[in-house]
Amino acid sequence: MKYYITTPLYYVNANPHIGHAYTTILADVISRYRRLEGYDVLFLTGTDEHGQKILEAARNAGKSPLEHCDFYAERFRTLWDKLDIKYDDFIRTTEPRHQKVVTEVLKSLWDKGEIYSSNYEGWYCVPDERFWTDKDIVDGNCPDCGRPVTQIEEKNYFFKMSKYQDWLIDHIENNPDFIQPQSRRNEILGFLRKPLNDLCISRPKSRLEWGIPLPFDGDYVTYVWFDALLNYITAPGYSADMKRFGEWWPADMQLMAKDIITTHAVYWPTMLKAAGVEPPRTVFAHGWWMVEESKMGKSLGNAVDPHFLVDNFGRDQFRYFLMRGMVLGQDSQYNFERMVDVINTELANNLGNMVSRLFKMIGSYLNGKLPGEGEYTEQDTELVDSLKQLPDSTFELVNSMKIDRALSEINITLNSINSYLETMAPWKLSKDESQQQRLSHVLYIATESLRIISVLLFPVMPGKMTKVLKEFGEEVPPVRGRTTWGLLEAGRPTSKPKNLFPRIDIKQFIKDEKPPQKQEQPKENIVEYDHFAQLDLRVAKVLSAERAENADKLLLLKIDIGEDEPRPLVAGLAAHYEPEELVGKNIVVIANLKPAKIRGHISQGMLMAADDGKSVVLLEPAKDIKPGSKVR
Ligand code: MSP
């Protein structure tokens, strides 16, 4: 079983930031889950080193292009090491193995008549290296980056991309998993409704020398995208070792963010088609991490610098937050306070506390030896059953690219283990001679649960989970078979692992912290208008609703409140409404309520409902009105 996964090749024009770290950690986490399942994985990442952007960055730094690339390629590698990223290959587009493949592909496409030369006349954006038509440009500027475009007239070489338009549409339609998520697939199909142009794949050396020369015209270099995309076939051995290439290609998962989906879902498969190579199985475009201002002691630069975050929070904590904090496919607001909150709540308080608590109890009550299995009672069933199905559901969620959901389920299960311990109270059992077997069995259930969870969390937090797994005598890296209930090695001596996840004190990062204001209690139950005006009441449309699995009173809604992205909202309405009844309804929401986490689910806002003590009824606008409309 083989699995080939790639990240984009990052430009070496600046230091890696949180966005690059995200895609690469994501690829690492998926790779590690696949390895856990027994796959042989090829995980490729690397750097994109040709083209105008890089040349300019090198000039600004007063270095030769290659010196500049060496420096930055190393910065990427250093960060990946620091983040515990286990890539199998790191490719640089300036390497001879890659230049050779680019040259060969170009030559064969030229020989087959897939490339032709033609005179180009039009607008060109130098920094973006893109051609634009009259219709595209905005007040003489590039529609993409806003910088001035220049009029050029020159001979160039073109790849006959348009010829593959119908084939590509068919391929996308017949292979629903080719472009993911669905929203991007629709976007590309929409884009393909307009006629596709041929692709200009050359740049005259007189204008740009930093590139791979065209094998059929020495006055030109290859357009950077045509060059860089081919890395994905260079690395597994295209042309150099076709047997090895055949074992890995087609790639199973090509990851990127939505900014570069067109190059990967249109240029790339048509290039491959022309070269007689199969397209990849899946190109997956995740959303963007958006950075908002936050009250940072250090500059915002620090707040998004992966080195700063790893140094202050720990690398596994950082990896966990990034995986937990983005619904794959949607954009996510990066917020420093939220990151601290997730780490403190889910890792320090929940997982970390449980590890120290359990091993402490094993130390005090069982002489530090792992407990053995005893008799199961009805009180144990719920937790044990949920642990028995957790591995399957985790792998299913991960394999369907719902990693945040998988982590949320694990976190919910940790809550259940905590409640189990509270109810069973081993500290009370320990005082009763006749309850010693029960005590050991209760600790067995909690410890075995933790062992299974440590295997499941290993791909996300390999460093910390290694420490826990060692206490259980588990081999590292673990395999999926070790998630079966009942494999805990009874009697094995343990030590007390050190505090795994120290709590983070946000105060050390906050500038100008004001002491909390004392709230003046109003004497009468009357509020000033100003107070009322602080509430941002809005109309929202319910897009989806489902029951929360872990709380029978709650419904989990997604609402459209007139913003770009839907918001999650948790409502205590399950006893009064069926989820289906709510979908499509217009409701009224307090939009600026501080986001809260309710039973593990984020709620951004609160809906308004009338309550007479018996029934609860939603407030709805009397007529249809646009989502986002203000309620006054
Ligand atoms: N060199 C091209 C890719 C060529 S692939 C053959 C390139 N490089 S890049 O350095 O700009 O990297 C873009 C990628 O970095 C995105 O597609 C994404 O994977 C990652 N991200 C950069 N900023 C990001 C965010 N703000 N949020 C999420 N991912 C981001 O494009």
Protein residue closest via CA to atom 27 of ligand 1: 288
Query: Which residue's alpha carbon is nearest to atom 22 within ligand 1?
Result: 19
- DSSP-derived letter for residue 304 is T
**Residue 546 carries which side chain, given as an amino acid letter?**
E
Q: Is the pLDDT of residue 524 over 70?
A: no
Whose CA is closest to 79, among 27, 13, 20? Answer: 20
Instruction: Give the separation between CA 259 and CA 272, rounded to whole angstroms.
Output: 21
Residue 517 confidence (pLDDT): 45
Token couple for 332: 């996510």
Strand partners, 214: 217
Degrees to nearest 5, angle at CA 214 with 14 and 60: 25
Q: What is the pLDDT of residue 302?
A: 62
Class of residue 139 by CB neighbours under 10 A (exposed 0-12, middle 13-18, buried 19+): exposed
Mean pLDDT of the chain, nearest integer: 92
What is the Cα–Cα distance from 280 to 4, expressed in whole angstroms? 10
Q: Up-side HSE of residue 46: CA atoms within 13 Å toward CB? A: 23
Q: Among residues 445, 494, 487, 507, which one has the least CA distance to residue 468?
A: 494
What is the Å distance from ligand 1's center to 226 Cα?
Answer: 16
Tell me the mean pLDDT in the region 181-203. 96
Percent of the chain with pLDDT over 90: 76
**Confidence (pLDDT) at 267:** 98
Q: What is the pLDDT of residue 558?
A: 94
Which pLDDT score, from 0 to 100, does residue 453 have?
A: 98
The structure tokens listed for 130 are 């893109």
Of all protein residues, whose CA lies closest to atom 18 belonging to ligand 1?
257
pLDDT recorded at residue 299: 45
Mutation to probe ligand 1, out of 23, 102, 225 (largest number of atoms < 8 A from CB): 23
**pLDDT over 80 at 509, yes or no:** no
Which pLDDT score is estimated for 292?
Answer: 63
Strands 555-560 and 606-607, sheet pairing: unpaired
Give 189's Cβ-side CA count (13 Å radius): 17
Best residue among 12, 92, 145, 256 to mutate for probing ligand 1's pocket (most ligand atoms within 8 Å of CB) is 256
CA nearest neighbour of 293 among 342, 334, 338: 334
Q: Supply the pTM of this predicted model.
A: 0.81
What is the average pLDDT across 415-443? Answer: 96
DSSP annotation of 335: -
Q: Spell out which residues line ligand 1, taking CB within 6 angstroms.
A: 8-11, 19-20, 22-23, 48, 228-229, 256-257, 259-260, 288-289
Q: 159 and 201 in contact (C-beta within 8 Å)?
A: yes
pLDDT over threshold 50, residue 44: yes
pLDDT at 510: 67
Beta bridge partners of 610: 617
Which pLDDT band, with edges at 50, 70 and 90, does 612 fall under? confident
**What atom in ligand 1 is closest to the CA of residue 232?**
6
Residue appearing with tokens 């966005």? 19
Q: Is 53 a residue whose pLDDT tops 80?
A: yes
Average pLDDT for 562-573: 89
Helix (H, G, I), strand (E, B) or coil at 327: coil
- 271 C-alpha to center of ligand 1: Å? 21
Lowest mean pLDDT, pick from 242-246, 531-535, 559-563: 531-535
58-72, 228-242, 615-629: range with lowest mean pLDDT: 615-629
Please give the number of the atom of ligand 1 that sits closest to the Cα of 7: 19
| 266 Cβ contact partners less than 8 Å away, ≥ 6 residues apart | 161, 168, 188, 191, 192, 196
pLDDT for 321: 97
Nearest CA residue ID for atom 16, ligand 1: 257
Peptide bond connecting 236 to the previous residue in cis, omega within 30 degrees of 0: no
**Which run of H or of E encompasses 37?**
none
Whether 274 contacts 246, CB under 8 Å: no
Q: Which two tokens stand for residue 23?
A: 């895609």
The answer to which of 121-130, 132-141, 432-441 has the lowest mean pLDDT is 121-130
Instruction: Measure 258 CA to ligand 1 centroid, in angstroms.
Output: 9
Mean pLDDT in residue range 394-403: 98
pLDDT digits (tens, 9 = 90+) for 197-227: 999 999 999 989 999 999 999 999 999 999 9
- Looking at residue 563, its pLDDT comes to 85
Residues contacting 587, CB < 8 A, separation 6+: 539, 540, 541, 542, 559, 607, 608, 618, 619, 620
Largest distance between two CA atoms of the chain: 93
d(CA 395, CA 345): 24
The strand pair at 40-48 and 217-222 is best described as: unpaired
**CB contact at 8 A, 306 and 466:** no
What is the whole-number distance in angstroms between the Cα of residue 16 and the centre of ligand 1? 10
Q: Are 228 and 264 in contact (CB under 8 A)?
A: no
Helix axes 306-313, 18-36, angle to 10 degrees: 60
Cα of 254 from ligand 1 centre, angstroms: 12
Report how far residue 50's alpha carbon sits from residue 209's, in angstroms, rounded to the nearest whole number.
9
Joined tokens for residue 524: 């009468």
Q: Degrees (nearest 5) of the Cα angle 370, 463, 15?
A: 170
Measure 429 CA to ligand 1 centroid, in angstroms: 55
Question: Can you give the pLDDT at residue 390?
Answer: 98
In a mutational test of the pocket of ligand 1, which residue from 11, 13, 15, 20 has the highest number of ligand atoms less than 8 Å from its CB? 20
Q: Would you state the pLDDT for residue 533?
A: 78
Residues facing residue 540 across a β-bridge: 587
Residue nearest to ligand 1 atom 10, measured at CA = 10
Cβ 300 vs Cβ 258: under 8 Å: no
Cβ count near 598 (within 10 Å): 16
pLDDT, position 127: 76
Q: pLDDT per residue over 422-435, tens digit each? A: 999 999 999 999 99
Determine the distance separating the centroid of ligand 1 and the alpha carbon of 259, expressed in angstroms.
Answer: 7
Confidence of residue 632 (pLDDT cuts 50, 70, 90): confident
Contact 325, 332 (CB under 8 A): yes
Atom of ligand 1 nearest to the CA of 48: 1
Residue 303 has a pLDDT of 65
Shortest-distance atom of ligand 1 to CA 290: 26
- pLDDT computed for residue 393 by the predictor: 97
Which pLDDT band, with edges at 50, 70 and 90, does 417 fall under? very high
